[in-house]
Amino acid sequence: MTFLYPLQTSAQGNLLVTPRRVVFDGTKRTINLNLANIGADTATFAISLVQIRMKEDGGFETITTPDPNQNFADQNLRFFPRSVTLAPNEAQVVRVQLMRSGQLKPVEYRSHFYFRSIPKINPLGEEEILKDSTTISVRLTPVFGITIPAIIRIGQSDAKVNLSDLKLEIDDNAIPTFSLRFNRTGNFSVYGDLAVDYVSPQGKTIRVGEANGIAIYTPNLVRNFQFNLN
């Protein structure tokens, strides 16, 4: 079983990755990713590049063929190492290099770095003890992974975003939920943070909600988003 997570928070499955996205926009040709094991056990992670489609609700789907107006970045990126084994509190740098940028047309290219946790296996010769030999034993080993976008931007950005369909609702548990739609235009992906403030009749401003790292990836034009307010 594999669980694939976009890196909305700073860590997942005891792996901390910074920065949260790799963006080549013409200012540099190499970027360092910092990986740190914040767990209590030694862990091994395999690193690869995968292709992802973002759905309108922000969910991810892995794909192998680009959608219309989508361009993959993996053929123009080189990185090393391809796997890391980290002791608790140990860190390591993964170096990412942009390749053949002069051959690229002026669009955005995107793939995603996938950091996959390698499950521990029993040492050679060690056998498991079956308590009941009359039944079939099936073990599902969860495999956790996180992704961060790797983006190459060629040319000048004319990307813009506006908000629509803003709605405030109260659910059955009396929890306020704020929903809205992000509308993207232009040639590049957009991402940023969202803050919701309440202004009282007396003019006092109170921060009631925050959501960080919201993205709309090309070729998507809209993203529906909702979150609970304080």
- Are residues 177 and 226 in contact, defined by beta-carbon separation less than 8 angstroms? yes
Question: Count of domains in the chain?
Answer: 2
Q: What is the spatial distance between Cα 196 and Cα 207, in angstroms, rounded to a whole number?
A: 6
On whether both 6 and 117 belong to a single domain, the answer is yes
Query: 40, 38, 6: which is closest to 144 by C-alpha?
Result: 6
- In three-state secondary structure terms, 90 is coil
Run of H or E residues at 174: none
Q: Is 129 part of a structural domain of the chain?
A: no
Q: Is 27 part of a structural domain of the chain?
A: yes
Beta strands in 67-159 (DSSP E): 77-80, 83-86, 91-98, 108-117, 143-153
**Host domain of residue 53:** 2-124+140-153
On whether both 23 and 68 belong to a single domain, the answer is yes
Q: What is the pLDDT of residues 117-164, one digit of tens each?
A: 888 765 555 555 545 544 454 555 455 689 999 999 999 999 999 999
Q: What is the pLDDT of residues 156-194, one digit of tens each?
A: 999 999 999 999 999 888 899 999 999 999 999 999 999
Q: Is 214 part of a structural domain of the chain?
A: yes
On whether both 91 and 173 belong to a single domain, the answer is no
Query: 48, 35, 43, 5: which is closest to 144 by C-alpha?
Result: 5
* CA–CA distances in Å: residue 83 to residues 45, 61, 80, 147, 178: 6, 23, 8, 15, 40
On whether both 219 and 113 belong to a single domain, the answer is no
Q: Answer yes or no: pTM beyond 0.85.
A: no
Q: What is the pLDDT of residues 29-73, one digit of tens each?
A: 999 999 999 999 999 999 999 999 999 999 999 999 999 999 999
Q: Is 132 part of a structural domain of the chain?
A: no
CATH of the domain at 20: 2.60.40.10
Q: What is the pLDDT of residue 1?
A: 39
On whether both 70 and 87 belong to a single domain, the answer is yes
